[in-house]
Structures are given as structure tokens and as C-alpha cells.
Amino acid sequence: MWWIPISSQSPTGQTQLRVGRLTKAHGLKGAIKVELYTDDPERRFAPGSVFQLQVPTSSPWHGKNLELIELKWYNSHAVAFFKDVPDRSAAEALIKAILWVNQDLAESPAEDDAWYDHQLVGLAVIRDDVKIGVVSRVDHFPSQDLLLVTTESGAEVLVPFVKAFVPAVDVKTGTVTMTPPPGLFEDLPEEELPDVELPDDVSTTEEDPAPEATV
């Protein structure tokens, strides 16, 4: 399972920072293309850097770290060589793995529209100027990130962390503004449900009889 949290492995005063995802084997010598989640690859992917891996529990790499030998660029694509990954077969076993590093809690991202997970957890979720819950967790998947929101009633809702649904994050005020689609946080009112026209030969007063079983 990809969502197993690994932040508990961080030393005191640090958190986990996701810096990349391994996407495709490159060549025959163990190289792997990397999708970078950092604006400072020279620092995060310096030779000797060690990454914690987020992989399925069935993976032979589960619970292990990965040490970088070198990061190169081929046709604008980042390609990494790792210790103990000598060939293409070993590289293919790591495809879709997410790379994490330890990060000091006091350090902030360089980009304005970037946040570490620990900065988001605990923020109040605001919709239409009303608090509807708090961010309880940030989940990272290969396709997208999700915010787990615990509502005022105690329900848990996963919200895609995209601009369309999360237009504003204000760490200073401790709020996340959300514009979710109707029905994401509650059932649609009956009057908002779409009308469905039934064919003329379908009765609205009684159910059609069940078909008889054949032998």
C-alpha cells in the first residue's frame, strides 16, 4: 500500500519531506528516471544522499533506504544512479517508489506556494467563511496529493490538493480555504438532485416484477 506513513521514522525536531518519485528504468546499468519534487536538486540529490522509500509492503525495498551515486540529465530528464541497483531488473523493482528525506521543522520552503506536511496538519478548513474541519493528514500518491479533513462532526473526507479545490493556504492565520464540489462534505439536498425522466413504459408506482429463474 502506497499511503503507509513513514514520518514516525524522523528524528526529534525533523519531519519527512518528499523530494522525488522514480518513474522509469533508463538503459541497462540500473539508471532510473526521477520526477523531481524539489526546486533545489543540487542539494537534495547530491552524491551520497540517502532517501527513505515509500513502496508497497510487498516490495523487497520496503523498510530500506536508497543511497544516490549520481544524478545526471538526459534530454532535460533527471536520471539517477543508486547504490545496490546494478542493472535494469533491479531498477524496475523501484519504479513508482517515492523518495523522502529528513527535514528540519524550522526550515521553510523557498517557494511561496509550497508547504511541508507538518505546516498543513492542524490548519482550520474554511468554506464560504465557515470553519468545517481541520487538516488531519497529508497523503502522497503517485498521481496526486490528498488532504485528509476531519469535519466538525468527526467524519473524514479526502480532498485532492489542487488549486481548483484548495485555492488558498495561509499558514500565518492557520487556515486552508476550500471550494469543494457539491456533495464532497455532505449529501446533496434532495432539491439539488438531478431529475431523471423515466421511459413511458416504466411505472413509477410499483416495481417491475423480478425475472423468473430458469433451469
Same domain, 139 and 160: yes
- State whether 27 and 92 are in the same domain: yes
Q: Tell me which residue range forms the domain holding 168.
A: 117-185
Minimal CA–CA distance to 68: which of 55, 79, 56, 60? 79
Position 9 pLDDT exceeds 90 = no
Grid cell 509492503 is found at 57
- Same domain? 100 vs 123: no
Q: Do 83 and 67 touch, CB atoms closer than 8 A?
A: yes
Which of 167-171, 181-185, 208-212 is the most confident on average? 167-171
What pLDDT score was predicted for residue 18? 83
Q: What is the mean pLDDT of residues 51-57?
A: 93
Whether residue 95 sits in one domain with residue 21:
yes
Q: Give the model confidence (pLDDT) of 10-46 as tens digits.
A: 555 667 788 899 999 999 999 999 998 887 888 899 9
- Based on the domain organization, do 96 and 152 belong to the same domain? no
Q: Does residue 209 fall inside a structural domain?
A: no
What's the chain's average pLDDT? 80
Mean pLDDT of 150-168: 92
Last residue of a domain, one of 49, 70, 104: 104
Model confidence over 188-198: pLDDT tens digits? Answer: 444 444 454 54
Evaluate whether residue 194 is within a structural domain: no
Picking from 71, 61, 53, 68, the residue whose alpha carbon sits closest to that of residue 6 is 53
Q: What is the pLDDT of residue 37?
A: 83
E-state strands within 87-167: 98-104, 124-127, 130-140, 145-151, 156-160
- The residue with greater pLDDT, 6 or 60, is 60
**pTM higher than 0.75:** no
